[in-house]
A and B are shown apart, each in its own frame.
Chain A
């Protein structure tokens, strides 16, 4: 399974995990499932879940750990 790790941030405004995730989600094929890791301070778990659902992904698993959120998603 592909992992999209968004914990590393750049300096520009297009480097924020939400912006990067938005672009990366378009590259996921139908039937593909991926693991997404973000810092909670960048995207809170609830917001991540909403975002993924609104982009048509099924959230298979969501781990809200200390400082981090890990989501396993599937593009149906």
Chain B
């Protein structure tokens, strides 16, 4: 498939029905017809519970759901599909690791390294688990001038008490892309594991877990054209086998024997050990269709297109330098298609509300990264525009011109 955003837009029914410039892709993406159809097809043609029935519908549903794991494994270049666990979203994936690996392995005095650019989803689970275990969190700074991670500070923070480094691959505010390979290499030297929050990176650039070398990768389906309520936790089989289950219930057990008036459960094999109860079958199938759609386009093409849009948007926003303050790295090589900004003299929520009046959808506030905003001195937050495959240069022109008008008329 060649890459033409105008052509791609035709795959998204919402753009035929709603007149909007959709720049809120870091929050959630629109869905192509193939994904909507996959979900609809499941419910209309083979809806059944998985792994529990001998009838044809259950067999078909089980096969489709299992195949969905294989597709996602291929999408992130995993060695084995059993390394792919379906969860609700990135938040649940990180909580799974925190409550299983974290509670088992963290002790009083141990350290968990995070960065100030993390989403609350990669802060709060560690805050809770550190509080329970007596471990402590250490925060790696970013460089205020360009939003890049302070690698020197990171390397200095690596002590022999560090058990885990939990870091985002791409900031959901600044768009900063972190050098995960470098983080992994340094962490390996002290025997710390690395958890990567891939919520913003996985949908927008090629990500190979084998190349990254990290131990955990978490991402959400709804940010990569898939349905809401489905996401992925990836880890290596040896780590997953060592971990205790996150939740108990059906499908995560192989057997529950009744012995001496007590129960003796045996955990199921991977990945089912971590997928208790009836899963989001339709969501998993829809997500696999989204991954196939993206693979057909090519993740290199996705990244290339977003680099082009981001470079163009940054250049055009420079024209408004006196009125609009833009945050994050200046070089597109170091950032994804996320641009957070503030119109000087205007609250970010008011800016978003005004943009909405002109049919431009953006997000405002702290974007679930309040510590980062406070670190940067942005007490009111920021307004964020974020791009995806169906966005165009023309939309950026309209956005920048509207922003100029808002800055002129409302400040």
Within 8 A of A (CB), among B356-409: 356-357, 364-366, 370, 380-381, 409
Given contacts A13-B365, A13-B381, A14-B365, contact A50 B354 (CB under 8 A): yes
Interface size class of B (residues with CB under 8 A): 10 to 19
B410 at the A interface (CB under 8 A): yes
Q: Select A16's contact among B357, B380, B410, beta carbons within 8 Å.
A: B380
Would you give the shortest CB distance from B366 to chain A, in whole angstroms? Answer: 4
B347 touches A42 (CB 8 A): yes
A16 touches B349 (CB 8 A): yes
A50 touches B365 (CB 8 A): no
Give Cα distance in the complex from A46 to B357, angstroms. 13
Give Cα distance in the complex from A12 to B364, angstroms. 12
Given contacts A18-B353, A54-B357, contact A47 B365 (CB under 8 A): no
- Chain B residues with CB under 8 A of A19: 349, 365
B347 touches A46 (CB 8 A): no
A50 touches B357 (CB 8 A): yes
Q: Select A51's contact among B353, B365, B380, beta carbons within 8 Å.
A: B353
Contact with B along A2-38 (1 / 0, CB 8 A): 0000000000111010110010000000000000000
Contact with A along B341-356 (1 / 0, CB 8 A): 0000011011001101
Q: Select A44's contact among B349, B350, B364, B381, beta carbons within 8 Å.
A: B350
Given contacts A13-B381, A50-B357, contact A18 B349 (CB under 8 A): yes
- Chain B residues with CB under 8 A of A41: 347
Given contacts A13-B366, A13-B370, A16-B365, contact A47 B381 (CB under 8 A): no
A43 at the B interface (CB under 8 A): yes
Would you give the shortest CB distance from A61 to chain B, in whole angstroms? Answer: 21
Within 8 A of A (CB), among B37-84: none
B366: nearest residue on chain A (CB-CB)?
A13
A16 touches B353 (CB 8 A): no
Contact with B along A38-60 (1 / 0, CB 8 A): 00011110110011001000000
- Chain A residues with CB under 8 A of B410: 44, 46-47
- Chain B residues with CB under 8 A of A54: 356-357
B357 touches A43 (CB 8 A): no
A47 touches B370 (CB 8 A): no
B349 touches A47 (CB 8 A): no
- Chain B residues with CB under 8 A of A50: 354, 357
Listed in ascending order, the chain B residues whose CB lies under 8 Å from chain A are 346-347, 349-350, 353-354, 356-357, 364-366, 370, 380-381, 409-411
Can you spell out 7 A-B residue pairs with CB atoms less than 8 angstroms apart?
A16-B347, A18-B349, A22-B353, A42-B350, A44-B346, A51-B353, A54-B357
Known A12-B366, A13-B370, A22-B353; further 12 A-B contacts with Cβ < 8 A: A16-B347, A18-B347, A18-B353, A19-B349, A42-B350, A43-B347, A44-B411, A47-B346, A47-B350, A50-B354, A51-B357, A54-B357
